[in-house]
Chain A
Amino acid sequence: MSFNSFSEFLAMGNHAVYVWSSYGICGAILLLNVVLPLMARQRYLKNEARRLRREAQQ
């Protein structure tokens, strides 16, 4: 462990703003890269389901 306490860990030796904002932005972008394809998949399946139902009615 490179820090003596949790508050010291959060402070990052006066570089807290830089370190945590970088990790925050990076985490958000990684998450976005997972969520967007999952949403696209859901959307596609929903559209296909609607299309299949419509075709079944005809």
Chain B
Amino acid sequence: MNWTWFHKLGSPKWFYEISGRWLPWLSVSAALLIVAGAVLGLAYAPPDYQQGNSFRIIYIHVPAAFLAQSTYISLAIAGIVGLVWKMKIADVALQQAAPIGAWMTVIALVTGAVLGKPTWGAWWVWDARLTAMLILLFLYFGIIALGHAITNRDSAAKACAILAIVGVVNIPIIKYSVDWWNTLHQPATFTITEKPAMPMEMWLPLLIMTIGFYCFFAAVLLMRMRIEVLRRESRTRWAQAEVARQIGRSV
């Protein structure tokens, strides 16, 4: 396998150039997929035989919950890369992905509560899945706060990386909570490895939405990272030239 891309990642300038090329494609795909998924999910999917039309909330609830967990795993991976290879871009990725992950957890929790009301008759229950998701939100808050609290960039990066890696233990707990405990939360809506238990018209919008949410995450993450890279590299010539070019265009 060719590892040049991995070494190039160490160069912020290279990252800035390549991400600038990817960003428009990711943004357009995210917008198209999310709109298509919402239209299909809201208007074309048949109502659930038990939950009626309120089940349509899962088209945002499930992708957001997936993304909330995937984002956390990516924080831990960025943390390992940052600690092992001392790659600066890994810390940029970790710091910039954390707020997006926190927002996704908020979407999952809020839409889950709104779905819980008509389905279970309660906005919130101290169910294993729900509690583990709430802990995930607090882990995100912890990482964000830690990143802001330590002024020395290298120490902050190290502390956040360690917290991200330790906190990853919560992810399997979220995933298997519905199997390990007798939860009110329903079991996994869909898995990649098995044939879906629902009809195609119900399942397809969920797949489209999930891919759309991942594209959205990638686009927003690149957008945030590009600003942060410019800021951190503000002493280098290429970053100054880029800022001058952007100023000339926008002011």
| Main secondary structure on B side of the interface with A | helix
- Encode B19-44 as 1/0 by CB contact (under 8 A) with A: 00000000000000010001000111
Do A41 and B247 contact each other (CB < 8 Å), given the known contacts A18-B57, A30-B34?
A: no
Do A13 and B57 contact each other (CB < 8 Å), given the known contacts A37-B223, A37-B227?
A: no
B251 touches A40 (CB 8 A): no
Do A19 and B247 contact each other (CB < 8 Å), given the known contacts A25-B111, A26-B107, A44-B227?
A: no
A12 touches B231 (CB 8 A): no
| Chain B residues positioned under 8 Å from A49 (CB to CB) | 247, 251
| Chain A residues positioned under 8 Å from B142 (CB to CB) | none
Interface residues of B (CB under 8 A from A): 34, 38, 42-47, 52-54, 56-57, 60-61, 64, 100, 103, 106-107, 110-111, 114-115, 117-118, 216, 220, 223-224, 227, 230-231, 234, 243-244, 246-247, 250-251
CB distance from A18 to the nearest CB of B (A): 5
> Contact check: which of B57, B100, B247 meets A52 at CB < 8 Å?
B247
Do A37 and B52 contact each other (CB < 8 Å), given the known contacts A9-B43, A19-B42, A42-B250?
A: no
**Interface size, A (range):** 20 to 34
